[in-house]
Amino acid sequence: MDAPEHRTRDEALIRAPIGACFAALADLATYGRWWTLVRVTPLGAETRLAPGVRFRFAGARPGGTGVAWDVEVLQVAAPGRIELAYVAGELLGRTAWELTAEGDGTRVAYVYRGVRANGPSSAASFERFGTRLHSVAMREDALAGLARFLGGRGAELDDEAWRAGGNERVAAGVRGL
C-alpha cells in the first residue's frame, strides 16, 4: 500500500525519575497496567526490550474494526531512548520512546518518525484524523496511564476503574476531533 508518512510527537511530563519511567517502558509485562487501548503481546519469550525483540500491538479505533501491527526493537539506549519499527500489519514505519530528565520528573515522548498505513482501516483513520486520533489516545491513555502507574494522578484507582475512566477520556477526546 503506497501511503503518506505521518510524523508526530506526543509527550507528557511525568513526576517520576527517568530510571523508573525507562524501566516501565522497557518491560512489556507492565504495558497492560498502563496502556489500556492496546494489547501488547510478545512474539517470543522475552518481555524486556532489547534489539531484535518483537511484539504485537492489537486494538480497535473508536467505532472501528480490530487492527494489529508487529513491532521490532531496533535500539535501546538507557535511560533516554528506545527505537522501534512497525514491521508488519496495519502500520509500518519508525517510532521511538524518548525520555529526558526535567526538574523532579521526566519528559516522556512517543514519536512517530515516519509511520504509514498498511491496511484499509489505518488508511481510513489517517485520512479522517491524520495523527490527531493517535495524539488523543497517547495523551489520555498511554501517557496518563504511565504517569498513574508510576504513582501519579489516578494511582489510587484499581486497574479496572482506571481502564473505564481512560476509555471515557479517549471517547471525549475523539468527539472533540
Rounded Cα–Cα distance for residues 18 and 22 (Å): 6
Domain 6-175 classified CATH 3.30.450.20? Answer: no
Which grid cell is 84? 522501534
Lowest mean pLDDT among 35-39, 97-101, 160-164: 160-164
CA separation for the pair 103, 15 (Å, rounded): 9
CA 146 to chain centre: 10
Residue at 118: amino acid letter: N
How many Å apart are CA 166 and CA 65, to the nearest integer? Answer: 19
What pLDDT score was predicted for residue 2? Answer: 78
CA distance 95 to 138: 13
Task: Give the model confidence (pLDDT) of 82-127 as tens digits.
Answer: 999 999 999 999 999 999 999 999 999 999 999 999 999 899 989 9
pLDDT digits (tens, 9 = 90+) for 38-89: 999 999 999 999 999 999 999 976 566 789 999 999 999 999 999 999 999 9
